[in-house]
Structure 1
């Protein structure tokens, strides 16, 4: 009789609660699979529209965002499934939900900075502000993005130092790797040198530089000689403008300076700079100093 009663109870549980538990698990599994399929389509969408989309979104940004969506969505589905299944075992989830709410509230007050880091990191990825490999300026730090998560951004500066910045502290970012870069290069010609000849020399340097197949892929516009920028006792400043591929400004500037120096020297044109001073003394003064 005892065994029969337990058998009936187990059979009733299996037919009632067990069926509902199975349905909950099945629905959760299906939702997770659907979420996985949808997020994968973000990485590899089909058709011509997808090609345009991939062109707009970088792979690193897309994969990071997909990982966030999939992990967050899976966590929500699992939590909802557990809370839905608990009443089938006789648990009252009202106190559990209330306790979870209090714990979440306490954590929220105690970890406001962490929450702010995660929110800022999420929008950094979502808005494609920068990705791994970009060169950025954050505050007074300039460096290459080595690592990017929801909580922090890791940069490596030109000296090789690794700088870790919590995303919540980032209020302004200058991305130096997007679209193009630009530089202005000044050449100071001595005031006693022929200015027109110097301008012709700079134009020749700019033309040869544009035609050089080793450097032309880095140039988007220019170099262009803008003309006289300023006048000073130590020389006349002539300015050149160059628009380059991202992060190639320094390389282009170094090569341009080298070519300008060589071309002006070949034409006998002296660059300006600090005035050289020649001290002239009388014979009496020389004897007085020598006597001392």
Structure 2
């Protein structure tokens, strides 16, 4: 135990020796925690690769932070955009090859199904157009998704807090969704319409009501039709609740031939069947008629006569040409066979309006006693013939006053 020292008055105390090591003069105080803190101060948390490399090489906070700001962040953003562009290009190429393969494959199955009948060139062209439309849709979706992710990553590299942006985007999306319900409905209807191949450019469709015509253009929001009179109709895809397509796979010509009751049914059916088969064997019309024509028989009976129905299965959009030609041939065949077409019976009703009869008002009027008779403009009063001359009989004393009668 050390003895206590008594200091005299005015004596200076001597410092005690410390057992902790002191750094040598000229050497910095280096520790792991200090290096980590300095690195975070210069490059942030977590430190970037470029900033960390520059700091390890130069031990300068200024150079490390400058390299991170002017080189590290731009290089990272460029790499993000470059990778996004490469991925987008690869996916676009894959989509193009897939849609091209699906457009060239024959058959009736798959997403882009074809038709059983029809001109092969027309069907291939339609499949190609539909494949291009679906491919364009898929490429647009891929581009939006990839560049959207890249944009979020770039904002993160710039040190922007994404939570308020995501929250604001969610609120804005809800508001736009409520305000643009019809637009979203039209867009989704257009997508499903293209994927399901409900109709395409060149098809003759009936969208309900009085709107029917040929499809001229199809977009994700609207369909453009042109009717037989040349009027162009713009129909929103979301408003189409039902649609009838007259151009898919095959069509049918249906004719009702009116005949009199005096016409024998069996003989008329033979004439119709022979005429339709003759047209079917014709080289000009054999390519348009895909099945043997049929006479279905008596379709209806009225007071005027009965009708026989003829059905012919044709290529799409060729039913009207076949119907016009078939009407001409059937008419000539029936006239040649001595069969008359049914005539509509008409009833003639004649109304006799007698103007000479007096009206009820005139008949009710009674002539007053002593009034002179009234004659019409065309009525001549009956006048008695004059009396024959002869001797005048004596009238008594006053006869000479009146004179003789003439």
SS at match of 1:221: coil
Q: Could you say which residue in structure 2 is the equivalent of 1:126?
A: 195
2: CA distance, partners of 1:149 / 1:247: 23
Do residues 184 (structure 1) and 254 (structure 2) align?
Answer: yes
Do residues 63 (structure 1) and 132 (structure 2) align?
Answer: yes
Q: How many residues were matched structurally?
A: 275
Matches within 5 A, 1:66-215: 66-140=135-209, 141-215=211-285
Do residues 239 (structure 1) and 296 (structure 2) align?
Answer: no
5+ residue gaps, structure 1, are 280-292
Q: Could you say which residue in structure 2 is the equivalent of 1:27?
A: 83
SS at match of 1:163: strand
Q: Could you say which residue in structure 2 is the equivalent of 1:225?
A: 295
Is 1:222–1:241's contact at 8 Å kept on the other side of the alignment? no
Shift of 1:177: 0.6
Shift of 1:117: 0.5
Cα 1:79–1:195 change in 2 (3 A) is: closer
Alpha-carbon deviations, 1:88-130, whole Å to 9, x = none? 2222122122222221111111101101000111110111111
Q: Could you say which residue in structure 2 is the equivalent of 1:283?
A: none
Alpha-carbon deviations, 1:53-102, whole Å to 9, x = none? 69835122211111111112112211211111112222212212222222
Q: Could you say which residue in structure 2 is the equivalent of 1:13?
A: 69
Larger RCO: 1 or 2 (CA < 8 Å, sep 6+): 1
Shift of 1:23: 2.9
More strand by proportion, 1 or 2? 1
Cα 1:181–1:75 change in 2 (3 A) is: same
SS at match of 1:85: helix
2: CA distance, partners of 1:146 / 1:45: 26
Shift of 1:44: 2.1
TM-score, with length taken from structure 1: 0.85
2: CA distance, partners of 1:18 / 1:42: 36
TM-score, with length taken from structure 2: 0.62
More helix by proportion, 1 or 2? 1
Cα 1:218–1:54 change in 2 (3 A) is: farther
Q: Could you say which residue in structure 1 is the equivalent of 2:20?
A: none
2: CA distance, partners of 1:229 / 1:82: 68
2: CA distance, partners of 1:145 / 1:69: 23
Question: Which among 303, 321, 330 is matched to residue 260 of structure 1?
Answer: 330
1: CA distance, partners of 2:348 / 2:243: 50
Bigger radius of gyration, 1 or 2? 2
Shift of 1:270: 1.1
Is 1:191–1:233's contact at 8 Å kept on the other side of the alignment? no
